[in-house]
Amino acid sequence: MKSVLESLGFGVVEEPDLISIVKIKDALARSPIVRVGKELIPEEEVGDYRTITQVIPIENVKPEELEPILKRLTSPNTDVIVYRNTNTIVLSGSAADINKLLVLVSEFDVKIEEATPGSISSAGDIHIYTLEYSEAEKIAATLVKLDNPVIQSEDLSSERKPPPPGQPMPKVDKIKAVGHKESNSVIVTATNAEWAEIRKIIKVLDSARKQVLLEVLIVELTSSDLNDFGIDWRYKGEAFGQFNSGLSKEANIINSNGQVNPNINTLSGFSLGFLKAGSEQIIGILSANQGNENFNVLSAPQVLTVDNQEAEISVGQDVPVRTQSRNAGTGGTNAVTVDNYEYRPTGIKLKFTPHVNKNNKITLELFQEIKNIAEIALAGGNPTFNRREIKTSISIENTQSIVIGGLISNDKQKRIIKIPFLGDIPYLGHLFKRTTEKIKKTNLMVFITPHILDSRETADKMTVKKKMQQERYELERERILNKEREIRERGD
């Protein structure tokens, strides 16, 4: 009878020699029983029709944190009122509803260290599951998207009869769940039969995830082909009076042995001196040079994350770029120029999301971006930025190393230095000029090695390994520094 009345929005108020049936809100206002504390209402009183007001003191958490959870998991006929000044919650409703909420409050109003992962508490149709590995809010968000599980058993088969012909199937309710962040618990409203199935789902979702350590080496391979061929005309001695010859002046171009001074600026590679005349030494130096550079390690990050969780590392700096220049003065000598700037990031950004299957094969979603300044314009101009990025998905075995490359940039420069007029003579002009061509090819390569850490022992071994590598690196670095120091001392 009570449930029928509540479904219609009515409640029962018992008074001496009188039982009144009134609207729920009026029944709550005229509640004759007021209880204080967290003690459950005795079982013999739960079946009564009387409305009860319960005042609950909250000791360890903020009552406003519990308010949305209690309101969501109780019937619309139960009032939940928070009084912050005294840190209390006031409940007003049926004894059965009050008891359910009392269990929830007792479960959450504890010190954080007292919460036991994996523990389960129930009160009627309300069940609490404290998680071990996952976040309660994410698990709850997943559960509410699912239909209530259909229990295939003989005792429920009579309750799940198919609808009459021509009638639609009854709508299946969604699971009612909410996550409590502070205790990392999921609260579910379900019958005992439904809870048995929902609990299995939560247990599967709340499992320890593997961790993945990603070792990355970002290398810039540079091949600089410098082809330098021509005649450098220089002279030794004083200038020719007021006449500007246009030739570079060098001291000691030729030493006493007739060899070209190796310290002359801009000369390297093969050099040949072939002319000497008069008191002034005018020398044509034939030079041929070819240079190559190796590679540059841009970054070597190591990032640790859990399975299916994105990790990101960013190393660099923000570069100011002028976006606007305006005159803020009144004109004349009082003119003031105001520049507006914005900052643009440069450096290396790496994002990756690992997906580990049961055979420890890893699928990596990888994004890598490198931004740097190519050149800065003169007279306060804005810099030009180079941007290179890789976005890919790859499949790789545990501890297997792979390389991703192909981001090649080409830069070709040609420079001609010549003596005016003489360098422009057809054919003979090559004797009076020097041509430098430089072709620079840059290939960006990314080396990747993942390590799956699926246990405490594996993580400990990896920690020891990295520590030993660091110690070897420090020893090798110290050895190289000592060797360089010895070479400098012998040179002195």
Residue 356 has what pLDDT? 92
Cα–Cα distance for residue pair 89/57, rounded to 1 Å: 7
The answer to whether 388 and 370 have CB atoms below 8 angstroms apart is yes
The answer to whether 49 and 31 have CB atoms below 8 angstroms apart is no
Residue 78 has what pLDDT? 82
H/E element holding 25? Answer: helix 24-29
Structure tokens at 279: 């008191």
Cα–Cα distance for residue pair 78/28, rounded to 1 Å: 8
Residues 6+ apart with CB under 8 A from 412: 437, 438, 439, 440
Cα–Cα distance for residue pair 469/52, rounded to 1 Å: 68
Domain 1-109 indexed as CATH 3.90.1150.10: no
- Half-sphere exposure of 483 toward its Cβ, with a 13 Å CA cutoff? 6
Cα–Cα distance for residue pair 236/395, rounded to 1 Å: 67
- Where do the structural domains in the chain lie, given as residue ranges? 1-109, 114-156+172-207, 213-218+293-409+436-467
Residue 363 has what pLDDT? 92
Q: What is the dihedral of CA 413, 417, 418, 420, to 10 degrees?
A: 100
Structure tokens at 421: 């007029």
Q: What is the pLDDT along the chain (492 residues), one digit of tens a residue?
A: 555 555 555 555 555 455 556 555 555 455 567 788 888 887 766 555 567 888 888 888 888 888 888 887 777 778 888 888 888 888 888 888 888 888 888 877 776 555 556 566 666 678 889 898 888 999 998 888 887 665 444 444 445 556 566 655 555 567 888 888 888 889 888 888 888 888 899 998 888 888 999 888 888 777 665 454 454 544 444 444 333 344 444 445 445 554 445 554 444 433 333 334 333 433 344 444 444 456 677 778 888 899 999 988 888 888 888 887 777 666 556 667 777 888 888 888 888 899 999 888 999 998 888 887 776 655 566 777 888 888 888 888 888 888 877 666 666 666 777 778 777 888 777 777 777 777 777 777 788 888 999 888 888 888 888 888 888 878 888 888 888 888 888 865
Domains 1-109 and 114-156+172-207 share a fold: yes
130 DSSP β-pair partners: 185
pTM: 0.53
Residue 449 has what pLDDT? 87
Residue 270 has what pLDDT? 38
Cα–Cα distance for residue pair 141/308, rounded to 1 Å: 17
Measured CA distances, 285 to 120, 206, 228, 266, 271 (Å): 90, 78, 12, 11, 6
Residue 77 has what pLDDT? 74
Residue 48 has what pLDDT? 58
Cα–Cα distance for residue pair 138/140, rounded to 1 Å: 5
CA 7, 12, 15 angle in degrees (round to 5)?
175
Cα–Cα distance for residue pair 452/211, rounded to 1 Å: 6
Phi-psi region of 481 (alpha: psi -120 to 50; beta: other; left: phi over 0): alpha
The answer to whether 317 and 228 have CB atoms below 8 angstroms apart is no
The answer to whether 320 and 341 have CB atoms below 8 angstroms apart is yes
416 DSSP β-pair partners: 435
Cα–Cα distance for residue pair 417/230, rounded to 1 Å: 9
Q: Looking up tokens 């199935």, which residue turns up?
A: 197
- 114-156+172-207: what fold? Ribosomal Protein S8; Chain: A, domain 1 (3.30.1370)
The answer to whether 432 and 422 have CB atoms below 8 angstroms apart is yes
Map residue 5 onto helix, strand or coil: helix
